[in-house]
Structure 1
Amino acid sequence: MFPCCSTRLWRYALLWGTISTGQSLAQVVVNEIMPVPPTAEPEWIELFNFSDTTVDLTNWWIADLQTAVSLPPLVIPPQGYAILTRDTAALREARYIPENAFLVELKLPTLNNTSDAILLRRSDSVLVDSLFYSMRWGKKAISLERRQATLPAWSADNLVPCQAPAGATPGEVNSITPVPNDYCLLELAMFSPLAFRLVVLNNGTAPQTSAVAILWVDVDRDHHFSPTEIRHRLDIPALAPMQRWEATVAAEILWGDIPAGWYEVRAAISLTGDVRWWNDTVYRRFYRSATLPNIRVNEILYNPPAEGAEFVELINVGDDTLVLEGWKLHDWRPTGADTLVIRTALRVPPGGFVVIAWDSAVMRPYPWLSAHRGVYIGSSSLILNNDADAVVVRDPNDVVVDSVYYFASWHDPALRGTRRGISLEKLHPLLPSTDASSWSSCGAPEGATPGKTNSIAVPLPLRGSLTASPNPFRLSEAERRYCVIAYEIPFPKALVTVRIFNEEGILLRTVTQARFSAAQSHVVWDGRTDRGELLPPGLYVIALEAVDTETSRTYGAKSSLVVTY
């Protein structure tokens, strides 16, 4: 019978290391254990003969702190493995076991799910090896592996969770045991929208002089990385054991001319003799930010009706369908609680609308939203202020795609009474979001048009030096209407003034005065004079004057506009 002592004495011996001196006798060690296996897999213990001679383990003892079991006839060759378990059939069903590994069925002591010790003794009770584990070092359904067979396994320094994708390596070299050829890809990350970082470690015991890092992008999104999708190759310099190497790759090298959106990226290291493919290949999902973002803020309801809720409407002004997964919306305080993150693969076709809200009550005043696919109701404590606030849209890389700081004064001054339930609409999606003249009050009976064309929408003029749209400009006492005046000037930056004159040359309205402008831009006019009166029908002149901010040179242009009723 196995000579036993009390559990307290065993724990005392383990604590003070009095039984670890048997390591000097070891040719066979407890090399890998599965104390908390996944469902349908039995517990098991792997023994490894790291010596150059055959070892006969017949009638040896395997024990934990409670019980001991005698081993059946078992001979392990040099560098050979034996796996001990209660159910060999179940283990073969759950795991790949190499043919040259011995699989032994016996009444294995039950391994504790918290901590325990495993002892290997010869038939004469001499201690050969011992291992102590704590599941604080490990993970459920992942084996604990010995890093170095020749070192004691009493702490997390030499007993580590398996790193192989299968979660265990019974009958094989442990995934954490150093081998001569082993390059590890530690990191593939996008540390800004403009660059990726690659970190490689020579995790082997031998110096290396030649290796290549290869990067793919799954351009066609078929979850397969073909040779034509290789975007970049990097020669890795000579690395000594445990030496790291970092490289930066410009994002445009990987992205090229592919459209904005989510893509799978694969990075792999090619090193002769490296069989640990699981640590030299990395798959990541990254967002390719648009060079010219195609999402615009198109409508804002910050003061909803009593039965409704706040919302922000976005529109896709590009030619490609966009997936807004991971996009963010926040006000002037970009805190975690006030930031709404789109968690689903919300698709927006060209010209399509997305209505973003943080309260399902947004659906009540607008019955057509129930059939609209572009509604996202997220979780956020975001509250838009009624006097003034910011609305900021960011892509998954935190690039600001569009932003607007609105004011209550942007509502139509002719609007009488309360503005509750009336949204701010953009006259055209391509107008500058930060310009007050791009926005005005919704004119629809419902007070807002989420998911629809804005009630005050106007077409943009055709490109030219100075044009207006619509022209003729049809005014109405009953409805608010707007005219977009587009211009192109020969200066990259200038101070622009736009005025409206009648046929006699009398100034009626200064639409904008010394406004800082780019070479191409727009202004919006509501058909009124400086005194707020609607112009009568007739022919009018739009006059533009631009002063170059660099040279003070001037440029002028005129265009005619017909006003009707």
Structure 2
Amino acid sequence: MRNFFAILILTSILFGQVLINEIMFKPSVISQEWIELYNAGDSSVDIHSWTISDPNYTAIIVDSSFTIEPGEFIIISQFDTTFDCPTIFVESSWPYLNNTGDTVYLRDSDSALVDIAVYSVSSSWGYDISVELPEYSSDGSDPANWLQCEDATGSTPCHINSVYEITYPVDISITSITIEPSNPTPDDTFSITVIVENLGTENASGFSLTTEYISSSDTTEIETIELSDIPAGGSVEQQFSLTLPAGNYSILASVDDTLGTNNSNSIDIVVSEPGEVPDILITEIMFKPTESSEEWIELYNNDHIAVDIEGWSITDATGNAIITSESFIIEPGEYAIITEVDMTGFSCPTLTCEDWRFLNNDGESLHLHDSIGTVVDSAIFSVSDSWSYGVTVERCSLYADGWNEDNWIACQDPAGATPCQINSTWPIDYDIAITSMSAEPFRPEPDNPFNVFVDIENVGVYTASGYDISLYLDTDRSHNYTVDDTLISTQSIPDLNSDESTTISFNVSLPAGLYSLVAVLSDTVRSNNEAFITVQVGMTIVITEIMFDPEISDHEWIEVYNAGNESIDLANWDIADASGTGTITYDSFIIEPGEYAIICEVPLAGFSCPSIVAESWRYLNNTDYESIYLINPDEEIVEQVAYDVDDWTQDVSAERISIYVDGMDTDNWRPSRSIDGSTPCQDNSIWSATEKITCDVQPNPFDPERGENAEIVINAPVDATIETRIYNLRGKLIVDFEAKAANVWDGNDENGNPVPTGAYVIVAEIEQNGKVTHHRFPIAVARGMKK
């Protein structure tokens, strides 16, 4: 064999001087995303034919010459608009940015990687708030370097980032503006207090402060004053007096410092007669009902007088809607439901809105107006895409501002909503609740004692004493207590102070089988006094692997394993998901102990274990959360699992990490690391995962001219997510295998063109515990150089 060439491996990709500096990924208008670029270098850069992309889409930024000058910002926009700096409207193939995290690539006209941005945020991230880099030298591929914009507007396009760690000699900021009293009355004087701070490093002098009030489209100056000198890090407080007639106003304060976007601040106020604005509150919102047309909003009269809402309206970002043009009285302390369509079954007065505002499933901002347009109450909330259907958001407190997202949380009642009654989130005098219930171990052995743990909390205002808890065998399998259930044991609950919790343990022993256990409190307040769990005593059939997104759409399959000691016959068993139930087979189909079997959508060949085509297949979700159930002929759920798809690669199965951990835990599932993309009829590839991150390449070097392919396997911890790419030594992307740990490379690039002989870099992107790291390994192509 000849001596080959020396293999040079780059330990990092050299990025250009143009960088991704700010990303608006979650605008309130879904089609108004944008990305800010910044030229941090010393020379101009022409971005003609450059591209911006994510793992799914690639867009040419501009197909003609476009120069970014040193120190200049530009905006790449999904929509046709203008900013304070040069703006490019990307008309097609925009890389739609994920609301909880994404990877954004910036490449030059030769497809060489210029910069990469990897951000990851929680599902509760607010709308119209960008992520920013703290320094131009920050590594954008590290999600920890992308910080929430701190500017009051939510973003800083075309300006220095709000989180940028830089100080100026003089930087004047209005940090707060308040009024006293908070609800002024007409023609009575109230005070406005403005705090101005010097965020710079030197003394600030010669600045002035202007206050104005805005009514409708008119702006009127209140007063302009010269500010005294403000030392570095110091602040001054200025007060103004004002008298206004009844109406809605905005009070605006601004300083004549032009640096940054912190030079003004405002506050909205309502000037009204005492008691003129009724204390009607929005207390609960059904924005994602099971039936899409059955949205509703609950109002509550917190006033001491009856209120007629004739002529009132409700608005959101899309417009205004009249609730009713006829008299509708809400008595003091009474609830009322405003519905989208005519609905029955509520226990309080109900009114069908004359012109409904369709509520967004991921969040909403609402304003309740009286007949003259005064804002009576407001509500704002945002939720994740995985929010369950039929579950409301409830106001946490009547006395906290509804225009505060922290004052809205998911309904805690098992029914998912509490229309016409006290919110599940509101404390009452005496109320204890079951907060969770579990069994240990997860699958007990037959006739061996196991523990059932019930967590109890005092969610009431006062100390709870004298309560009991009982555990029942759910004989009729209703999942709640009935007189037919069999009592196992009753225990006393110790006295609990408000917000105090305790755990009660029951010792239980049962023969092999599937059981439902119900825990019941002696407290009868609310519906938080019962809980149930299903316990499988003894090992039985388990789902171990799921092919939910095959290359050929109807080649879905599920692998099951008999972990018990007896044969299992699947005759008349069902398979189910959230959308329905289907029969696996009406005929006998035996799975022996320790044996795998495959349940298929259509007839498939090539399996080395028994397989069967389901009589009625449940089409598996390949874009979102999915739950799967195996149900025996007695209509008992014998096995249940769940997976959650996030940028999953096609034709790669989901493998269960452990059969001894709950299959409903989505963290118990990972993509197969097999070179074939799945491991039907054999032990899961994930079971051989290693703690150390390594790369096996066979052969290396390899000669495509001899028909050789390189098998590339990335070894990483079981809880890691792996993406694999190959670059040349200039940093140009050759092939992107996406979210696969095991891949075969034929020596061609993504366009099918053979790459030349030489050294290349395998880059494994590993995400673990919210942190992303990049690991580089050598690979060489040796065309015609092997004998």
**TM value normalised by structure 2:** 0.34
**Structure with the higher helix share, 1 or 2:** 1
Larger Rg: 1
